[in-house]
Structure 1
Amino acid sequence: MPVGIVLRRSPGSTRWVAWSWRATDVLPGAGPADWRELRRDGDAVEYHAATVTLELHGAETEAYLTGLSARVPSVFVVMREGHGDEPLDVLLITASPYEAQDYTDSGEEIVEKVPMPGGLVAWVRDFVEEFHQDEEFVKRRRDKKRIDLVQDGIGDPRIGKPGDIYASPSLKRRRLQ
């Protein structure tokens, strides 16, 4: 589904940051956009920055359920600092909190949580109801092999020494010191 991303530019709170950018809203079913100004309130301006496709995958239904069961169901907008005239490049939108968390690991992307409109919540919920399959929990079992009965010796077996790794220094070394 094509989803428009609304970004808000407001004055920065310090002298080192001139502007603060936030994803504030999404527009399900929006047409193409290229930083079209939607609203101006003093110095704050909202732009329809981009329209990206929200894709849902059958293997991710557990993540979508987690997102839908949150107090405020949300989508996540992943952005990166712009390389052209635009200050930010919108990379993607996802309904999976797990995928959004993966994008926060690198520190290069900016991930914003945006509340889902009611129509989008219904669309994701319908998808999950159609494709979700509960996975049965399978407890991992230990091998029956007893590894505590054999002692390889003390020390690291990879070190090729005739004596123990914990052996005291020889008399020659003591005399040289």
Structure 2
Amino acid sequence: MGIVLTQRPGVTRWAPLVWRATSVLPGAGPADWKELRREGDVAEIHAGTLTLELHGAEAEAYAHNLAARTPCLYAVMREGSGRPQDLVLLTASPYEAQDYAESGEELVEKIPMPAAILEWVEDFVARHHVEEPFKKRRRDRKDIDVVEDGIGDARIRQIADVYRSPTSRRGKVA
């Protein structure tokens, strides 16, 4: 899948350019920052091609993605070494995208899922996703008002530390 990045001028002096992943090109060949279109200061660039892999263990995440208003693919990028952005990963799992977003080192961009890819992911989910029934946990029936006898040492009058052993009273006659 080809990843298309859009380059726009920044609005502050600290960010002269803003890069956003805006679309994917299913079945695209290899590319290395090939400019597709330019209109004024805005350019669309085919930054690279990544493989979109689906895994059976992630079927629940894909189903969650498909249930969203707009199913998306997630492009994970890092600040580049020699390039503005390095492409790291393309995924359909919002859970995996969230894991990358939490680190703060990667930039995660949502890209609307094309219809052909949407059908492919729906078919994958239909074959691999097994809905697990919700199991409500039950509380144990322990009585919390019960008075427990025999805990701690009765000779110690302090409530704060009932498990402390008593000090020896050497030299004192009782």
Same fold (TM over 0.5): yes
User: Which residue does the alignment assign to 2:172?
Assistant: none
How far the C-alpha of 1:145 sits from its partner, in A, is 4.5
User: Which residue does the alignment assign to 1:134?
Assistant: 131
Match of 1:58 among 47, 56, 59: 56
Q: Cα gap change, 1:157/1:58 in structure 2, threshold over 3 Å: closer, same or farther?
A: farther
Match of 2:101 among 100, 104, 112: 104
How far the C-alpha of 1:139 sits from its partner, in A, is 2.2
Residue segments in structure 1 that go unaligned for 5+ positions in a row: 164-177
Match of 2:43 among 26, 29, 45: 45
Alignment RMSD (CA, Å):
2.3
User: Which residue does the alignment assign to 1:73?
Assistant: 71
Superposed CA offset, 1:97-124 (max 9, x none):
1111111111111000110111010010
Match of 2:122 among 111, 114, 125: 125
- Greater mean deviation of Cα atoms: 133-142 or 17-26: 133-142
Q: Cα gap change, 1:129/1:162 in structure 2, threshold over 3 Å: closer, same or farther?
A: same
User: Which residue does the alignment assign to 2:160?
Assistant: 155
Q: Cα gap change, 1:155/1:79 in structure 2, threshold over 3 Å: closer, same or farther?
A: farther
Say which one has the larger Rg.
2
Tell me how far apart the structure 2 counterparts of residues 12 and 52 of structure 1 sit (CA, whole Å).
Answer: 27
- How many pairs are equivalent? 159
Residue segments in structure 2 that go unaligned for 5+ positions in a row: 153-158, 168-174
Superposed CA offset, 1:50-92 (max 9, x none):
1111111112112111111211111111111012x21111110
Tell me how far apart the structure 2 counterparts of residues 94 and 39 of structure 1 sit (CA, whole Å).
Answer: 25
User: Which residue does the alignment assign to 1:86?
Assistant: 83
Q: What amino acid is aligned across from residue 160 of structure 2 in structure 1?
A: G
TM-score, with normalisation over the residues of structure 1?
0.80
Tell me how far apart the structure 2 counterparts of residues 77 and 30 of structure 1 sit (CA, whole Å).
Answer: 16
